[in-house]
């Protein structure tokens, strides 16, 4: 059986978030994944595409945006020393949304190092409206992080089943939202972000050892994972905050 991302219907998504494809050298990945859109795309005036990272060199998402003809996007590159903490993405995005620089109705957030834009970003807005919600997050079958919130996972599984899916959870790598509502969600997530959040490498180590819950006695406080925080607060904001169960926003 061929991988699902080789099926024609999945290539209608505006974003590809498949690491085995996006980690190819850019001179291979961009023509392969975005070649049909080279120099043809524009970002709608009501949308801002936002990236948050601390890379010294231009990552693959930035390269893909310029490859398809989009230059008017926002890159937030925090001055941060030490191991990367994934909740920094939420902290920096929150600062941007609260600043005078943020002027658009919609925000499209994409991970920087393992995603590419391949088609019209207008599609992301269309899918948000189709789902009749204010924040639409891409999906994944990976359930890491639910170990410490089994009741939330049970709720998430029920919602997935209601939408004809199983083991389909929030993926924080790609999401589209109405700016005003996204501010509210980020404010809720910020309650669990501390100066002592787990660095990404430490988070993975504890997951591998199966000791994440033991280490974080006040979970989700200081968990250091943007994805875990989105999953934790999802029930509070449903149905205004939804998972893209149909997989139309991003190939994952």
What domain range includes position 185?
Answer: 4-191+225-251
What percentage of residues in the chain have a pLDDT greater than 90?
Answer: 92
Residue 216 domain-assigned (yes or no): no
pTM listed for this prediction = 0.94
Contact between 66 and 148 under an 8 Å Cβ cutoff? The reply is: no
- Per residue in 100-112, pLDDT tens? 999 999 999 999 9
Residue 217 domain-assigned (yes or no): no
* Total structural domains within the chain: 1
Burial of 204 from C-beta contacts in 10 A (0-12 / 13-18 / 19+):
middle
CATH code for the domain in which residue 16 is found: 3.90.550
Q: How confident is the model at residue 6 (pLDDT cuts 50, 70, 90)?
A: low
Residue 66 domain-assigned (yes or no): yes
Largest CA distance in the chain: 51
- Per residue in 22-60, pLDDT tens? 999 999 999 999 999 999 999 999 999 999 999 999 999
Of 72, 71, 55, 63, give the one whose Cα is nearest residue 34.
Answer: 63
Q: How confident is the model at residue 241 (pLDDT cuts 50, 70, 90)?
A: very high
Of 216, 236, 229, 101, give the one whose Cα is nearest residue 175.
Answer: 229
Contact between 243 and 139 under an 8 Å Cβ cutoff? The reply is: yes
Residue 203 domain-assigned (yes or no): no
Residue 78 domain-assigned (yes or no): yes
Return d(Cα 163, Cα 246) in angstroms, integer.
Answer: 9
- Per residue in 206-220, pLDDT tens? 999 999 999 999 999
- Per residue in 8-24, pLDDT tens? 455 689 999 999 999 99
- Per residue in 65-74, pLDDT tens? 999 999 999 9
Residue 10: predicted pLDDT: 54
Residue 90 domain-assigned (yes or no): yes
Residue 146 domain-assigned (yes or no): yes
Residue 239: predicted pLDDT: 97
Residue 219 domain-assigned (yes or no): no
- Per residue in 149-165, pLDDT tens? 999 999 999 999 999 99
| CA 149 to chain CA mean position, Å | 20
Strand arrangement, sheet containing 116-117: 116-117, 15-16, 250-251
């Amino acid at each position: 059986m061929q991988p699902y991302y080789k099926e024609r219907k999945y290539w209608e998504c505006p974003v590809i978030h498949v690491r085995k494809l996006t980690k190819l050298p850019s001179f291979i990945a961009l023509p392969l994944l975005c070649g049909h859109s080279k120099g043809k795309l524009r970002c709608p005036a009501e949308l801002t595409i936002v990236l948050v990272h601390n890379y010294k060199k231009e990552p693959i998402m930035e390269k893909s945006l310029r490859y398809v003809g989009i230059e008017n996007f926002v890159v937030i590159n925090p001055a941060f020393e030490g191991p990367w903490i994934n909740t920094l993405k939420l902290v920096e995005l929150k600062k941007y949304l609260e600043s005078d620089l943020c002027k658009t109705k919609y925000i499209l957030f994409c991970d920087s190092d393992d995603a590419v834009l391949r088609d019209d970003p207008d599609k992301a807005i269309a899918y948000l409206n189709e789902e009749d919600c204010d924040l639409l997050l891409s999906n994944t079958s990976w359930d890491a992080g639910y170990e410490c919130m089994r009741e939330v996972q049970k709720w998430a599984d029920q919602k997935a089943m209601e939408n004809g899916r199983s083991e389909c959870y929030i993926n924080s790598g790609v999401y589209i939202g109405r700016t005003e509502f996204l501010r509210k969600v980020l404010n809720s997530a910020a309650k669990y972000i501390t100066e002592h959040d787990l660095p990404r490498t430490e988070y993975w180590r504890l997951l591998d050892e199966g000791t994440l819950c033991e280490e974080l006695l006040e979970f989700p406080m200081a968990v250091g994972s943007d994805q875990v925080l989105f999953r934790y607060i999802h029930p509070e904001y449903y149905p205004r905050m939804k998972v893209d169960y149909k997989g139309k926003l991003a190939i994952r």
